Structure 1
Amino acid sequence: MIEYRFDTQLLIDGQNLSEDAINDYITNNIEGDCLLAVGDEETIKIHFHTNTPWVLLEYCASLGDIYDVVVENMERQSNGLQG
């Protein structure tokens, strides 16, 4: 069984974005693993495995415009189904 089921990826467009602040907030407030938060002050790419992707999306939407959102169910994928 997969501990964190949803592979969640998205882009955030905003102003004065900080990779470190975003990384720290997600690490301390949203349960999951495999976090990547990379980019610059205007665009950040997020990749995160979690059981609560809606919490991640809500937080990211508070930072700016989110787009290219992908949420894949890795448990279904591991069972040979479409995620």
Structure 2
Amino acid sequence: MLEFKFDTQLLIEGHDLSEDKIHDYIMDNIAGDCLLAVGDEELIKIHYHTNTPWKVLEYCASLGEIHDIVVENMERQSQGLQG
């Protein structure tokens, strides 16, 4: 069984975005692992494994427009099912 079962991915589009601030906030406030927060001041790609993907979406939506959202259940995928 996976400790964090949801693979959460999205793009944040906004102004004055900071990879470091976003990374630090997520790591400090939302349990999970395998965080990637990469991009520039106008577009950041997020990839994170967590059990509470809605918290990631809520936080990211507070920073700008979110899109290309994918939340997949990795436990189902490991069983050969669609995530």
Counterpart mapping for 1:50-65 below 5 A: 50-65=50-65
The secondary structure found in structure 2 opposite 1:12 is: strand
CA-based RMSD? 0.3
Q: Which amino acid aligns with 1:54?
A: W
* Structure 2 portions without partners, runs of 5+: none
Q: Which amino acid aligns with 1:81?
A: L
Percent sequence identity is 77
Counterpart mapping for 1:4-15 below 5 A: 4-15=4-15
2-side partners of 1:17 and 1:62: how far apart? 11
Q: Which amino acid aligns with 1:42?
A: E
1:26 alignment counterpart: 26
The secondary structure found in structure 2 opposite 1:4 is: coil
1-side partners of 2:50 and 2:27: how far apart? 11
Counterpart mapping for 1:39-58 below 5 A: 39-58=39-58
Residue-pair matches, total: 83
Q: Which amino acid aligns with 2:51?
A: N
Which TM-score applies when normalising by structure 1?
A: 0.99
Ranges of 4+ aligned residues in structure 1 off by more than 3 Å: none
* Structure 1 portions without partners, runs of 5+: none
